[in-house]
Structure 1
Amino acid sequence: MKKLVSILLLFTFGLSSCEKDDICDANTPTTPRVVITFYKDIDPTTPAPVINMTVKGQDEENPIIFNENGTDGTEYLTSASTVSVPLRTDSDTTVYEFTFNANGTNRNTDILTFKYTRNNIYVSRACGFKTNFTLDPTGAVVRTDSDGLNWIQNITVLNRNIVSEDETHINIVY
């Protein structure tokens, strides 16, 4: 009988030391990217695709991958009217080079600097933290040009609070 009680006690203590698995559910909200929609200047009410655009972070070796199946540089190209790009979580500014017609001879690059404040939010032990952003009210997006020719004509901030990717935050007319 003592043997049975000892085995039961050992089994009970063994179970009590187990921890539940900490797995972050794939549907848990994470740090949102800024959503940008493009419009042509001849019709600034209808979203228009930007042909063969690349978006490259400052001091990054390669542009953002938009096409996972692309090869030989086409993975970096997009011809979408809406793109989502990440903001840095370790800085209050992020700088991107937006290149129009990136694989053509008439390529044109404009540099956008996003200015914002960060708010780190604890999600859970399994998921850690996420960061929400608030774009600067006095100069959320600053455009400079590397070649003297602007392809981006106008930038409008629609929503300064970047807490999800369900809506457009910035409109760009080109």
Structure 2
Amino acid sequence: MKNICLLILVLFLTSPYGCERDDICPETTPTTPRLIIDLYDFTNQEEQKNVFDFRVQGVDNDNVLPGYNVIGATNSIMLPLRTDTNSTVYKLHINYAVNNNGTPDNPDDDFLEGNEDTITINYSTEEVYVSRACGYKTIFRNVTLLINADSDNWIKLKESLTENQSVEDESTTHFNLYH
């Protein structure tokens, strides 16, 4: 009986039901890409320009995008796009600070400082098979970026780097924003 159990175990481990190398998706495998935006100087459009005290938050989302509650400077943004709809909306806030109005123990009278612009990214999605282990990834076609106008936009101009912009990988910039 012991030999039969051992034989069944050996057969199971060597059968197609055992783990194979391609059952694990390597970290280096490209998955659903993020939208890459570089920030440039509006007056000298060949030169990248940092934004300071930068915060990115999705609209209708109370959470700040991880890595984008920056006290300091950045000149490039990588934004995840929603795969369950054909648009994603973000609030991009520069010179972000919370003013406690002189009452640090009372958050009810706190207010935000800085300048917030809202961008809307529209696209169509396409599911692409990667592998058995990794499954599918989403790529984005016909991507457009709109800057929602307000009375004090810090983003002055946008530029798509290709016609009929698509987001298939994270190897190149997709849009430039000038401020």
Q: TM over 0.5, yes or no?
A: yes
Distance 1:4 1:98 in 2: 66
- Between 1:28-37 and 1:55-64, the stretch displaced more is 55-64
Cα offset, 1:123, TM superposition: 1.2
Matched with 2:145 is: 141
Matched with 2:106 is: none
Q: Post-superposition, which runs of at least 4 consecutive aligned residues in structure 1 deviate over 6 A? A: none
Distance 1:55 1:11 in 2: 53
Give the 3 Å change call, closer, same or farther, for CA 56–4 of structure 1 in structure 2. closer
Matched with 1:13 is: 11
State which of 76, 79, 82 in structure 2 corresponds to 1:82: 76
Cα offset, 1:164, TM superposition: 1.0
Distance 2:142 2:82 in 1: 13
The answer to whether the 8 A contact 1:114-1:135 is kept is no
DSSP 3-state at the match of 1:107: strand
Matched with 1:161 is: 166
Distance 1:88 1:63 in 2: 15
Give the strand-richer structure, 1 or 2: 2
Cα offset, 1:4, TM superposition: 10
Please show how residues 102-117 of structure 1 align to structure 2 within 5 Å.
Answer: 102-103=96-97, 106-117=113-124
Distance 1:90 1:96 in 2: 16
Normalising by structure 2, report the TM-score.
0.79
CA RMSD of aligned residues (A): 2.4
Q: Percent identity, aligned pairs only?
A: 32
DSSP 3-state at the match of 2:120: strand
DSSP 3-state at the match of 2:148: strand
Cα offset, 1:125, TM superposition: 2.3
- Aligned: 1:121 with 2:128: yes
Please show how residues 61-80 of structure 1 align to structure 2 within 5 Å.
Answer: 61-66=62-67, 76-77=69-70, 79-80=73-74
- Consecutive unaligned residues of structure 1, counting only runs of 5 or more, are 67-74
DSSP 3-state at the match of 1:162: coil
- Consecutive unaligned residues of structure 2, counting only runs of 5 or more, are 99-111
Give the 3 Å change call, closer, same or farther, for CA 52–13 of structure 1 in structure 2. same
Distance 2:50 2:58 in 1: 21
Distance 2:25 2:12 in 1: 26
Give the 3 Å change call, closer, same or farther, for CA 5–60 of structure 1 in structure 2. closer
Cα offset, 1:29, TM superposition: 0.5
Instruction: Report the AA paired with residue 132 of structure 2.
Output: R
Matched with 1:152 is: 155
Instruction: Report the AA paired with residue 153 of structure 2.
Output: N
- Aligned: 1:173 with 2:178: yes
Normalising by structure 1, report the TM-score.
0.81
Instruction: Report the AA paired with residue 171 of structure 1.
Output: N
